[in-house]
Structure 1
C-alpha cells in the first residue's frame, strides 16, 4: 500500500470531500426532478460546456465550474492548498464532466468489455496510450476520449480516486511498488473484462 502525505488535499486524507464531489457532479447531470428531491440546486448549463472546451489544466482552473467545486471544500483546506492540489482537482474536474451516468462499473472494466464484433470497446492500443500519458493535459485528453467511447458510464468515485492516484504517483507524492501502480490496476480490470 502506498502512503499519502498528510497535508495533501486528497480523497484519501479527506474522505468527506466525496460528498462535495458527488453533489457537484449531480448538479450538472441529474434531472431537475432528481435534483429537487435531493435538495441540490442545478448548476448553470455553461459549466459543462465551458469545462469541455478546456484543453489545459490552466484553462480548467479559470472556469466557473471548477471554481464551484473548489469553493465547496472546507475553507481550512482551501487555505492550505498547494499548487499540486489545485492542479489535481482541476484534472479531476476536467474528466468528471465526461461521466454522464454514475454506475458501479470501473471505466477500465467497461473499456475492456466486448462489443458485438467480439472486440473490446476500447482498443488495446488506445488503452495503452492512456497508461503511457506523461502530462496531465495528455492524460485528460486520452481519458476523455475513452469516456466518450464508453458513453460516459462509469463510477464517479472510482474515477476520482484513480485520477488522484495517477497524479500522486506521477508527482511522487504516493509511493507504490510497480505492481501496485494504478495503471497496473487498470490493465488487470481491462484484460479481465475482455475474457
Structure 2
C-alpha cells in the first residue's frame, strides 16, 4: 500500500464511501461525508479514487484554480467550489436541522474549500493541531509549527487571514497527515465564533480544541531512534 493510500485509509468498521468522524464541533455527519467525497475527487487520481467511488476525479486544473484564490469572492467563482456547494445544497442540507442564512453558509464553505484544497493526503480523525505539535523529522524537540506561530494561527480575524494562516500551517504539516473533515470542522467552528455563536462549554471552542491537540502532541517524547 502506498503512503497516500495509508493516509487516506478509513476505519474498517465504516463504509469507505460514507465514513465520517464520530464527533464534530460544527459540521454534521452528512456534511462531513459530502466534503470528504468532494475532496477525494479533487485530489485523487482515478486508480486511487475508485477504491471509494465510481465517480471520476475532477480535472486537474479544477484544484489548481481553487488553490490560486486568496479571497472569498474568488473562491466562490471557481468550478471546484460550485461542485461542493451543489452537493451540500442538494443532499447535505436535506432533512437536516435549520441552517444559518445562505450568505453565512457560503462564506463558511468558501473558506473550507480554499483550505481543504491544500491537503494532499489525509489521516482519518487526525486534527490539525496534533499534526502541528508533532516533532519535525530528525529533530529532538522542534514542533512542525512553533508556539508563537501557533498562537498567531489562533488569532485570525478575517476569513482571508484564516485562509492564509491555515494554508501556511498545512505546508508545515507537509499537506498531509490531517483529516479533511477535522480541518473543515475547525474552519466552521471558527466561523461560528466570529458571528458570536460560541459553544456553551469552553473545551468545545475553537482555541481550546486546537490548543489541546497541539500541546498534547508537544508533550509527547520522541521515540528511541528518532
TM superposition score category, shorter chain reference: 0.7 to 0.9
| 1:145-192 Cα deviation digits (max 9, x unpaired) | 010111112001111111111110111234435454211111111111
Q: Which residue number corresponds to residue 91 of structure 1?
A: 111
How many positions carry a matched residue from both structures? 183
- TM-score of the superposed pair, with normalisation by structure 1: 0.86
Question: How far does the alpha carbon of each residue in 1:94-144 deviate from its partner, in whole angstroms, 9 at most, with x for none?
Answer: 011011111032111110011222211111111111100111100110000
* Cα distance in 2 for residues equivalent to 1:110 and 1:73: 28
The 2-side partners of 1:47 and 1:176 are apart by 39
Q: 1:149 matched to which residue of 2?
A: 172
Unpaired runs of at least 5, structure 1: 1-9
The DSSP-based 3-state class of the residue aligned with 1:11 is coil
1:23–1:40 CA contact under 8 A, matched in 2: no
Q: What are the equivalent positions in structure 2 for 1:1-195 lying under 5 Å apart? A: 11-12=27-28, 15-37=29-51, 38-75=53-90, 77=93, 82-104=102-124, 105-115=126-136, 116-117=138-139, 118-153=141-176, 154-195=178-219
Show CA shifts across 1:37-86 (max 9, x none). 420211011121111111111111111110111011244849x8521110
- Could you tell me the TM-score, scaled by structure 2's length? 0.75
Residue range with higher mean Cα deviation, 168-177 or 133-142: 168-177
Cα separation, 2, equivalents of 1:128 and 1:134: 13
Secondary structure of 2:56's aligned partner? coil
**Aligned 8 A contact 1:102 1:156 in 2:** yes
Q: How large is the RMSD of aligned CA atoms in angstroms?
A: 1.9
Higher helix share: 1
- Unaligned regions of 5+ residues in structure 2, if any? 1-25, 220-226
How far did 1:22 drift? 1.1
Q: Is the 8 A contact 1:114 1:194 kept in 2?
A: yes
d(CA) in 2 for partners of 1:141 and 1:74? Answer: 27
